[in-house]
Amino acid sequence: MFQRRLLHTIKYAKQPQLYLHESITFTKVSFSKDPNKIHIGEVPSSSDLSKVNIEPSKFMENSKFKDILHKTIAKNIYDDQSYVIEAINYRGSFMPIGDEKVIQEYMNQRPELPNTMGFVHVDNDGIMEKGTYEVNDTYTLCNVDGIIKLPETMLEHLLKAL
Q: Is the pLDDT of residue 127 over 80?
A: yes
Supply the DSSP symbol for 62. Answer: -
Domain interval for residue 15: 9-61
On whether both 52 and 112 belong to a single domain, the answer is: no
Instruction: State the CB neighbour count (10 A cutoff) for residue 125.
Output: 9
pLDDT of residue 45: 87
Q: How far apart are CA 52 and CA 43, in angstroms?
A: 8
Residues 80 and 108 in one domain: yes
Q: Are residues 20 and 48 in the same domain?
A: yes
Whose CA is closest to 136, among 70, 56, 39, 42? 70
Give me the pLDDT at residue 107, please: 66
Nearest to 151 by CA among 80, 86, 74, 70: 80
121 vs 22, more confident: 121
**Rounded to two decimals, what is the model's pTM?**
0.89
- 85 in a structural domain: yes
> How far is 20 from 119, CA to CA, in rounded Å?
30
The verdict on residue 73 lying in a domain is yes
Helix ranges restricted to H, 21-105: 63-76, 81-87
Q: Which of 13-22, 47-56, 91-100, 123-132 has the lowest mean pLDDT?
A: 47-56
Residue 81 lies in a domain: yes
User: Are residues 57 and 85 both part of a single domain?
Assistant: no
Residue 151 within a domain: yes
Is the domain of 50 the same as that of 78?
Answer: no
99 and 130 part of one domain: yes
Residues 81 and 55 in one domain: no
Q: What is the DSSP-derived secondary structure letter of residue 114?
A: G
Same-domain pairing of 51 and 90: no
Residue 137's pLDDT band (cuts 50, 70, 90): very high
CB atoms under 10 Å from CB of 129, counted, come to 12
Residue 3 within any structural domain of the chain: no
Same domain, 122 and 85: yes
What total of structural domains would you count in the chain?
2
Task: Establish if 52 belongs to a structural domain.
Answer: yes
> 4 lies in a domain?
no
